Structure 1
Amino acid sequence: MTVQIITDSTSYLPQDLREEYGIKVVSLSVTFETESFREEALDNDTFYRKMAESSRIPTSSQPSLQELYEAFVAPIREGRPVIGVFLSAELSGTYNSALLVRDQLLEQYPEAQVEMIDSRTAAMEMGLAVLAAAKAAKAGELFVAVIERVKRVLERSRLIFAPEVLEYLRKGGRIGGASALLGSLLQIKPILTVIEGKAAVLEKVRTKGRAMETMIKILLEDVRTKGLGDVVVHHINNEIEALHIADILKEALQVVVPICPIGPVIGLHVGPGTVGMAYYTLK
């Protein structure tokens, strides 16, 4: 039976790819002072407008155990192997909840094949691994081979981004190794990445334009030495700069470079204005 791939909403996989490769998505949620929304049910324009109007940064929460259970039990009942790939456990309790669900399912269905993977990252760095796994599953690869495909892509992947400010990361407690920058932000535009599941400083430059140039340079050097697996450009309510980066990469790489907006859960922790890219290499 074809392996079922399940991920969470912070992968930000486009809907057409989910449908084409049968990827199932469980949703995290965001909460304003008096309202809560499932991320999957809230469009980005509405969310970022509401966040701009709010006096407080909203909070996020993981999927319920029940939603996770229902997502996994359906394919298991069909006799299908299931692989879940989730947001870094350093950023959310989603992965640990998925482990609890796995244990429950294996008690009920001892012969089931279930694997939960902590991506140790977020957004389309995770999404590209999920997509690669789903393509392998659709091509008929077996359970163990699909698991290895996920891990191989994650090992060769990178998420780099330039936030407009670090205030959102600081308030959300997700700043990780970038905390050393907080006292000297006035003259710095940091380029961040994700290391061991948390934000960390990759480079420090003086302007946003220089940050975009440096991110592109880093990616192109990685591709020159290791080859390109796949790439997307990310943005948080900043499509104009994302289009500019995608055009440069398209010309340099001679491939179509999709633009993938980041939604509410990651957006509230990183902040509007952010641009970046997720990619993986062939070696």
Structure 2
Amino acid sequence: MAIKVVTDSTSYIPYHLREEYDISVVSLGVTIDAETFREEDMDNEDFYVRMAQAKSLPTSSQPAPREFYQVFENKLRENHDVVGIFLSSEMSGTYSTALMVKNMLLEKYPAAKIEIVDGRSNSMELGFAVLAAAKAAKAGQPMEEVIAQAKYVMERSRFLFVPDTLHYLQKGGRIGGAAALLGSLLQIRPILTVIDGKTALLSKVRKKERALQEIVKIFLTDIEQKGLEDAVIHHINFPREAQALAEQLAQRTGRVIPVYSIGPVIGLHVGPGTLGIAYYTKEKRD
């Protein structure tokens, strides 16, 4: 018997790490021009080409309950316990569906141990918590410690990102049309983060270059004060610029910082050209 960790596709954990730590993934869905796909089955670059050509803005959907059921039940049949860590409940119904499926399975397997954790974020801010839990599980730690390791990271993590345009935020209803128009005219770029499980505005500056300089400054200040455990550069269909940012931060920190692409579900809400930094520190953030 072992503990197996399950997450969803918006964690964007690279496949080699999923394999190394035996992390299972349930997939959210994307609908584009009346066709629906599992995010896990889509190539990121192909999706953003299709999104640019789409007649309307694509939409996303939570994983199907049957996919949760199959993944969880497969672990239970192998006599394993399950810890599921999922996309923030403030951003999606994924977490609540996981809870529903847990209760269904406990009726069939009353002795099963299934714990569901609200990851309170997405992308690798979520992924770092998942990885921490999976490492503890692989090391043979008990359920309580596996969950504690995930929460340890969640208390120390941060995700800062800068969209290239306000178009997708406005289309998705996250900012008003007037604000988007004014922001575009004035070249205002918001610096976004995640607070209490929701996407939130951290600050606004003129021009994207200055916004990127600001998130670098915030990142460097955080790690100077609290130490750095791990970090990644995230991008939405913007690989060259993301690599340049990673190289800049490598020079400043003396550490190699990997570059990970953000997939369709989060990408369609924020838009191509987005750059960001997801990281967590040694000491707890205020």
Is the structural similarity TM-score above 0.5?
yes
Deviation at 1:257, TM superposition (A): 0.5
Read off the aligned partner of 1:228 and give its amino acid letter. Answer: L
Structure 1 residue aligned with 2:45: 45
Deviation at 1:193, TM superposition (A): 0.3
1:80-105 deviation line (CA, Å, top 9, x unaligned):
12111111112211111001011111
CA distance in 2, matches of 1:9, 1:160: 20
% identity of equivalent residues: 54
CA distance in 1, matches of 2:73, 2:178: 44
- Report if aligned partners of 1:11, 1:127 keep a CA contact under 8 Å in 2: yes
Structure 2 residue aligned with 1:235: 235
Q: Which runs of 5+ in 2 are unaligned?
A: none
Q: Which is worse superposed, 94-103 or 163-172? A: 163-172
Superposed CA RMSD: 1.6
Deviation at 1:191, TM superposition (A): 0.5
Structure 1 residue aligned with 2:20: 20
CA distance in 1, matches of 2:179, 2:214: 18
CA distance in 2, matches of 1:255, 1:202: 26
Structure 1 residue aligned with 2:277: 277
CA distance in 1, matches of 2:250, 2:178: 34
CA distance in 2, matches of 1:199, 1:179: 18
Read off the aligned partner of 2:70 and give its amino acid letter. Answer: E
Deviation at 1:34, TM superposition (A): 2.6
Read off the aligned partner of 2:203 and give its amino acid letter. Answer: E
Deviation at 1:269, TM superposition (A): 0.5
1:1-283 matches, within 5 Å, as 1-174=1-174, 182=180, 184-185=182-183, 186-187=185-186, 188-283=188-283
What SS is found at the alignment partner of 1:141? coil
What SS is found at the alignment partner of 1:231? strand
CA distance in 2, matches of 1:58, 1:96: 23
TM-score normalised by structure 1 residue count: 0.95
What SS is found at the alignment partner of 1:91? coil
- Report if aligned partners of 1:233, 1:258 keep a CA contact under 8 Å in 2: yes
1:166-199 deviation line (CA, Å, top 9, x unaligned):
2212322355xx9995464132111100112222
What is the aligned residue count? 281
The alpha-carbon distance between structure 1 residues 179 and 248, as it changes in their structure 2 partners (threshold 3 A), is: farther
- Report if aligned partners of 1:91, 1:174 keep a CA contact under 8 Å in 2: no
What SS is found at the alignment partner of 1:234? strand
